[in-house]
């Protein structure tokens, strides 16, 4: 099963809104085939694994391991449960049941009724962690929410700056850490910043330092005060602007009306869920991050601490949670907290 997790991760930036799924087939405790879901709309992991086997005659005596319950419905591809039954596998081992209402136990039920032995909830916690975005979306009707910020060693996000004062954003994290941040962006469905961050930093919010798809860009601009000369309005890539004034789309820019700009975290989260956007990484600024913290609407906080000290500036948000990991990346300390 751990091999299923390992190969499933290869689809991390290309399968959403589908989950990451890996499949391994064994015969007499030896791997004879494996595959993973590579891209949304293409073959599922079970199909890839079965098609990789050199001798299909071994399948009736083989065991199929897959980290998520085989699908039982017709979507963009035929049901994997039917293929498993057709190939007469001896046994199927699953880590997680699928929370998606079109599956939700139906896949394993169909396989069991065909006389195939079933074992499930194998390494169940590890499987849920792998597909935490997928499970959060389907079970809580909201995206998986990641807070991310870089801070100085004395606890500041930036100097106090004003729009058009000519000041540059404070560069806190190093080049190696910046590449990691761009990899994170490629792994999420969307990325969100507030008005001040957009106006002061003029960010692109893309994955230019890492190969992979750009996330959908989101910005909060309640009174539509941002200048349309900003990069995010001019580069021809999709952008959603959450605001209190209007709702329409013009080319790649969509204006999304929110009813209460002062209490936006829940409303934005619901809107993303309704549009099948399963994750969002929030990169600032201070006000936006603090609003999500105050609403207790976050799952992970990825905090980058530089050895730099600046003495005064914009204070960092404060989160209370379980520390999940801590590591040095270049000269920067990366700590990940989980909201439990």
Helix (H, G, I), strand (E, B) or coil at 132: helix
Full set of structural domains in the chain with CATH:
2-133 (3.40.140.10), 142-338 (3.40.430.10)
CA distance 230 to 129: 37
Please confirm, yes or no, whether 69 is among the known catalytic residues: no
Q: Which residues does 309 contact at the CB level (< 8 Å), separation at least 6? A: 152, 153, 154
Q: How high is the pLDDT of residue 261?
A: 77
Q: How high is the pLDDT of residue 239?
A: 98
Whole-Å CA distances, 274 to 15, 173, 181, 260, 270: 18, 34, 27, 18, 6
Mean of pLDDT values over 267-290: 96
Taking the alpha carbons of 280, 284, 288, 291 in that order, is the dihedral positive or negative? positive
pLDDT digits (tens, 9 = 90+) for 152-172: 999 999 999 988 787 888 999
Indicate the DSSP class of residue 1. Answer: -
Q: Which of 1-10, 100-109, 168-177, 200-209 has the lowest mean pLDDT?
A: 100-109
DSSP secondary structure of 109-121:
HHHHHTT-EEE--
CA 270-272-276 angle, to 5 degrees, is 115
Of the listed 46, 69, 188, 283, which one is catalytic? 46
pLDDT averaged over every residue in the chain: 94
- Residue 77: which pLDDT band, with cuts at 50, 70 and 90? confident
CA distance 239 to 243: 13
Q: How high is the pLDDT of residue 260?
A: 85
Q: Which residues does 274 contact at the CB level (< 8 Å), separation at least 6? A: none
Candidates 204, 193, 199, 203; CA nearest to 287 is 193
């Amino acid at each position: 099963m751990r091999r299923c997790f390992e190969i499933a991760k290869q689809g991390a930036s290309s399968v959403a809104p589908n989950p990451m799924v890996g499949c391994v087939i064994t015969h007499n405790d030896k791997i004879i085939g494996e595959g993973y879901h590579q891209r949304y709309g293409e073959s599922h992991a079970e199909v890839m694994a079965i098609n990789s086997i050199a001798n299909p005659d071994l399948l009736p005596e083989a065991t199929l391991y897959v980290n998520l319950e085989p699908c039982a419905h017709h979507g963009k591809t035929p049901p994997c449960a039917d293929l498993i039954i057709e190939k007469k596998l001896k046994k199927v081992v699953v880590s997680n049941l699928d929370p998606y209402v079109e599956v939700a136990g139906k896949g394993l039920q169909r396989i069991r009724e065909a006389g195939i032995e079933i074992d499930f909830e194998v390494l169940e916690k590890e499987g849920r962690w792998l597909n935490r975005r997928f499970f959060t979306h389907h079970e809580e009707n909201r995206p998986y929410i990641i807070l991310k910020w870089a801070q100085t060693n004395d606890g500041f996000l930036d100097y106090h700056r004003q729009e058009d004062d000519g000041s540059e954003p404070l560069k806190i994290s190093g080049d190696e850490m910046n590449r990691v941040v761009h990899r994170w962006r490629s792994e999420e469905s969307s990325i969100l910043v507030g008005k001040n961050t957009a106006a002061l930093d003029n960010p692109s919010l893309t994955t230019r330092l890492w190969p992979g798809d750009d996330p959908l860009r989101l910005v909060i601009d309640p009174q539509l005060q941002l200048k349309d000369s900003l990069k995010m309005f001019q580069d021809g890539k999709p952008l959603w602007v959450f605001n209190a004034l209007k709702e329409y789309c013009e080319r790649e820019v969509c204006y999304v009306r929110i009813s209460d700009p002062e209490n936006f975290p829940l409303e934005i989260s619901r809107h993303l869920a309704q549009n099948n956007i399963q994750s969002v990484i929030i990169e600032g600024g201070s006000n936006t991050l603090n609003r999500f913290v105050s609403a207790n609407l976050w799952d992970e906080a990825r905090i980058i601490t530089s050895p730099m000290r600046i003495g005064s500036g914009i204070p960092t948000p404060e989160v209370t949670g379980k520390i999940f990991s801590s590591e040095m990346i270049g000269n920067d300390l990366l700590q990940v907290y989980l909201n439990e």
